[in-house]
């Protein structure tokens, strides 16, 4: 259990909240709009749906003014809405309608970088003596070749295209600016107090407007190691640039900046905050940000689970197994309980493939069972739960027969361009590159939401071309069918999620705040654990992460009083209550213990 002096189990609204992430371009287009993009009014039109699911907080990926080089993560104005999505008045209406339903809006704060079309950057690049020059990170070339080609200041690779430099040359002023993600996303210089003050001002603007807090995009990249040293050589032959993560992930002043943010902004409101912090798994470093007395953030997104198949760069593969998955989850459950921290619970977002395709089996035979298995797991883990749009109906990855032109994400485009350049005469390596796209492209999470079996899946008007292709399986995988589903024997994926979210709230003492004990950690396929509330209630979770039938032996002394639910039947499962349990492929069970 948590230490006596711990505040881990102290109830807070943001701990118990169910947060639903919306990718606004793909969620819901409003009638009459021919752009094929989702809109803010489209979001507002679906609030009753979200409320009925069990959602408390809506987090939308960026809707602010942007040239859309990286789908809104390149912001050109922190106080204006992009015309694709609507107007400030539309957002005011959204906040008001959320409030009527006792729901809240969390904004996406993108302040490691801006768009290269932001007025701040336009001034910065105008001249070396411009007052805003040091709002961004400018460096002279490392050298200039005999042919007159300037060399970047170091060998850091671009994050969304590792074949390219993280530095972009500006012909007008003869210097490079740091752009870790793409040339269209120049990094802000957080060393400059004027930059930080401008960020605080933008945060106050949205809190005053009625937002409840922020998801903070790559917030642990805002502090860079002075001197900008060359990165170690970790990629194979043919890679001129290398991942520089050790020099900009959780840099030397990160915690100074986050504590200043808390003092200047966050401490003045009752907020929910979650920091996106890729590349960090050291528990001491994580706890510096999320322990109850850190004075920084409520929680962060820990990437260990969604990076389970990542070697040095995201668009690559490495093998993993169920034991590794279990150990990651159990490690962070225990760390937060024992150190008065707080977890975020998630396995999907806009930057990762669909979880049913990644962790289970998305075939027609097993997709529903796998989606429910993952729902049962997530809704019984400690921390604040994040659900990504479409996850609640078991949406899956795009099929492997899609033409590469259907993929719209800049990371996918850059990666495929690199593959074609490096492996033009190697069909085997090109095929492997395509396999990586089919398994890991961010596009898989960005296909339009499947509301109906009709044209465009109900995402936009018939006859309107959506910005991205609608999945072909919307005939069978859609909200309308699953909400109406009334099978006597089995719940739809959506109804299973709805019931699981209600159960989580009804038993928050155990599932949100309770103790966590893993069982059978060495079992290669079964993930089993017990959640215990302060009132003594104990719950057993038994999850078969395999496509084979197997028998799981309960630890001695553990007895189930009643099996409450499973992902095979609508009614309570009829299973043995002690000694051993026969688990079917991808079967998950929840039991109340004696």
- Rounded distance between C-alpha atoms, residue 405 and residue 118, angstroms: 29
Residue partners of 427: CB distance under 8 A and separation at least 6: none
Strand order across the beta sheet in which 167-170 lies: 138-139, 175-178, 167-170
Q: Going by DSSP bridges, is the β-strand pair 384-388/344-345 parallel, antiparallel, or unpaired?
A: parallel
Q: HSE-up of 280 (CA within 13 Å, CB side)?
A: 25
Using CA atoms, how far residue 126 sits from 132, 136, 142, 291, in Å, is 9, 12, 22, 43
Among candidate residues 367, 352, 390, 386, the one with its CA nearest the CA of residue 471: 390
- Tokens 């409320």: give the residue: 51
Q: What's the residue count for the chain?
A: 594
Instruction: Catalogue the active-site residues.
Output: 217, 276
Using CA atoms, how far residue 183 sits from 132, 178, 187, 259, 336, in Å, is 18, 8, 10, 30, 38
Strand (E) or helix (H) holding 76:
none
Cβ atoms of 302 and 250 within 8 Å: the answer is no
- Rounded distance between C-alpha atoms, residue 552 and residue 557, angstroms: 15
Among candidate residues 47, 44, 181, 57, the one with its CA nearest the CA of residue 107: 57
* Coil, strand or helix at 81: strand
- Rounded distance between C-alpha atoms, residue 105 and residue 64, angstroms: 14
For residue 377, the tally of other CB atoms under 10 A from its CB is 21
Among candidate residues 190, 198, 193, 165, the one with its CA nearest the CA of residue 179: 165
Q: Going by DSSP bridges, is the β-strand pair 18-22/384-388 parallel, antiparallel, or unpaired?
A: parallel
Cβ atoms of 75 and 114 within 8 Å: the answer is yes
As a three-state string, the secondary structure of 235-276 is CCCCCCCECCHHHCCCCCCHHHHHHHHHHHCHHHCCCEEEEE
Residue 488 has which token pair?
A: 């006597």
- Tokens 């907020």: give the residue: 271
- Tokens 């599932």: give the residue: 511
Q: What are residue 77's DSSP bridge partners?
A: 65
């Amino acid at each position: 259990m948590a230490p006596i002096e711990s505040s881990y189990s102290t109830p807070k609204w943001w701990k118990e909240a169910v947060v639903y992430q919306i990718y606004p371009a793909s969620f819901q287009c409003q009638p009459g709009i021919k752009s094929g993009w989702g809109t803010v009014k489209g979001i507002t039109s679906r609030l009753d749906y979200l409320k009925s699911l069990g959602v408390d907080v809506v987090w939308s990926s960026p809707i602010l003014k942007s040239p859309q080089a990286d789908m809104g993560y390149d912001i050109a104005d922190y106080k204006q809405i992009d015309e694709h999505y609507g107007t400030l008045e539309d957002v005011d209406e959204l906040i008001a309608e959320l409030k009527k339903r006792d729901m809240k809006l969390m904004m996406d704060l993108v302040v490691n970088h801006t768009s290269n079309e932001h007025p701040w950057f336009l001034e910065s690049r105008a001249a070396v003596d411009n007052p805003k020059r040091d709002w961004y990170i400018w460096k002279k070339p490392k050298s200039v070749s005999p042919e007159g080609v300037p060399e970047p200041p170091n060998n850091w690779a671009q994050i969304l295209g590792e074949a390219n430099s993280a530095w972009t040359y500006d012909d007008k002023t003869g210097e490079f600016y740091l752009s870790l993600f793409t040339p269209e996303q120049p990094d802000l210089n957080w060393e400059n107090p004027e930059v930080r003050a401008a960020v605080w001002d933008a945060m106050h603007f949205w809190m005053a407007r009625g937002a409840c807090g922020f998801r903070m995009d790559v917030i642990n990249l805002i502090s860079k190691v002075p001197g900008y040293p060359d990165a170690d050589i970790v990629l194979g032959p043919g890679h001129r640039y290398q991942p520089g993560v050790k020099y900009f992930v959780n840099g030397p002043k990160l915690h100074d900046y986050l504590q200043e943010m808390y003092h200047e902004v966050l401490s003045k409101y009752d907020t929910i905050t979650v920091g996106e912090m890729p590349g960090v798994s050291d528990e001491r470093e994580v706890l510096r940000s999320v322990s109850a007395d850190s004075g920084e953030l409520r929680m962060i997104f820990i990437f260990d689970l969604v990076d389970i198949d990542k070697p040095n760069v995201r668009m690559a593969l490495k093998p993993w197994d169920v034991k590794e998955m279990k150990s990651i989850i159990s490690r962070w459950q225990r760390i937060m309980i024992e150190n008065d921290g707080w977890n975020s619970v998630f396995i999907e977002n806009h930057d990762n493939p669909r979880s049913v395709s990644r962790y289970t089996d998305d075939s027609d035979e097993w997709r529903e069972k796998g989606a429910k298995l993952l729902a049962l797991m997530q809704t019984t883990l400690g921390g604040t739960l994040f659900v990504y749009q479409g996850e609640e109906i078991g949406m899956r990855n795009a099929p492997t027969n899609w033409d590469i032109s259907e993929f719209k994400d800049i990371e996918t485009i850059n990666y495929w361009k690199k593959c074609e350049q490096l492996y033009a005469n190697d069909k085997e390596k090109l095929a492997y590159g395509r396999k990586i796209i089919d398994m890991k492209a961010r596009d898989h999470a960005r296909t339009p939401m499947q509301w109906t079996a009709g044209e465009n899946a109900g995402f936009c008007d018939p006859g309107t071309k959506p910005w991205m292709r609608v999945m072909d399986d919307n005939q069978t995988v859609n909200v309308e069918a699953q909400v109406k589903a009334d099978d006597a024997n089995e719940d739809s994926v959506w109804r299973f999620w709805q019931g699981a979210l209600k159960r989580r709230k009804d038993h928050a003492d155990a599932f949100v705040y309770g103790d966590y004990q893993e069982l059978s950690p060495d079992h290669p396929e079964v993930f089993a654990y017990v959640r215990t509330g302060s009132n003594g209630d104990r719950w057993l979770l038994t999850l078969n992460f395999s496509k084979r039938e197997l028998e799981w032996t309960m630890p001695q002394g553990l007895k189930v009083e009643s099996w409450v639910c499973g992902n095979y039947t609508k009614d309570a499962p009829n299973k043995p209550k002690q000694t051993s349990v026969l688990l079917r492929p991808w079967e998950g069970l929840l039991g109340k213990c004696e």
